[in-house]
Structure formats: structure tokens, C-alpha cells
Amino acid sequence: METTNFNSRDIESATYDDITHQLYIRFTNGDYYVYYDVMPVDYVGFLSADDHSKYVKDRLTIKYDKRKLH
């Protein structure tokens, strides 16, 4: 698993499991979500996006199932 920390007002960190294709995103407000079956190309797109929050909203939340973790 690979974890990336962000210097962002919305996203604190993201961890991607390339075996299960689960993407875990921790937001700066404390929310923590897992996105299921995220294709590697979308994970790379997320990492390279100019606006990570916009990518999550416009791409990941529309395309993939997610669940809020505690």
C-alpha cells in the first residue's frame, strides 16, 4: 500500500491498495472514506490532478462506490 500526504485545504492523505484497488482518503475535516475498485489509472489521475478535491468530487465519487469509515 502506498500513502501520499497532501498540502491541501481539503485532503490530508490518501492510501491506495493496489491489490484490492481500494483508495482510502482522509480529509482535513476528519472524514475518512474508502473508495472501492478504483482503477490504477484513476488513482494516478487523482495524484496528478491540479485540484485533488475537484477530482474526487467530479470523478471518484461519481464512478466508484464509497463508504465513510469511523
DSSP characters over 6-38: ---SSEEEEEEETTTTEEEEEETTS-EEEESS-
**What confidence score (pLDDT) does residue 46 get?**
97
C-alpha to C-alpha distances, 26 to 13, 30, 67, nearest whole angstrom: 5, 7, 12
> Over the chain (70 residues), what is each successive 10-residue block's mean pLDDT?
91 97 97 98 96 96 96
21 exposure class (CB count in 10 Å sphere: 0-12, 13-18, 19+): middle
User: Is this structure's pTM higher than 0.75?
Assistant: yes
Written as nine digits, the cell of 60 is 471518484
Which of 42, 45, 32, 37 lies closest to 65 in space, CA to CA? Answer: 37
Give residue 64's pLDDT: 98
Give residue limits of the domains in the chain. 2-69
